[in-house]
Amino acid sequence: MKTCPICGGKAVGRIGVDQYYCWDCLLEFNGKNEVFAIAEDGTLVAYNPQEGLR
Ligand SMILES: [Zn+2]
């Protein structure tokens, strides 16, 4: 089962081919552990776990 690369939790839903959503972090990520935040207008914004949201 897929776990969240940010929090390591299992509250992860599959939302597409190789795309997942963490309900705890409210962030999207893919199989390469690239993480995206969802902006208010619905677009995806690259998210760096070290830097947080810019
Ligand atoms: Zn998470």
Give me the residue spans of the domains in the chain. 12-47
Amino acid residing at 45: V
Torsion sign across C-alpha atoms 19, 22, 23, 27: negative
d(CA 5, CA 12): 10
> What letter would DSSP give residue 48?
B
Ligand 1 midpoint to CA 7 (Å): 4
pLDDT tens digits for range 4-31: 999 999 999 999 999 999 999 999 999 9
What was the pLDDT predicted at 54?
54
pLDDT tens digits for range 24-48: 999 999 999 899 998 999 999 998 8
Ligand 1 midpoint to CA 11 (Å): 7
Nearest to 31 by CA among 42, 45, 43, 17: 17
Q: How confident is the model at residue 52 (pLDDT cuts 50, 70, 90)?
A: low
Ligand 1 midpoint to CA 39 (Å): 17
What was the pLDDT predicted at 1?
80
Q: How far is CA 4 from the centre of its chain?
A: 7
Ligand 1 midpoint to CA 40 (Å): 19
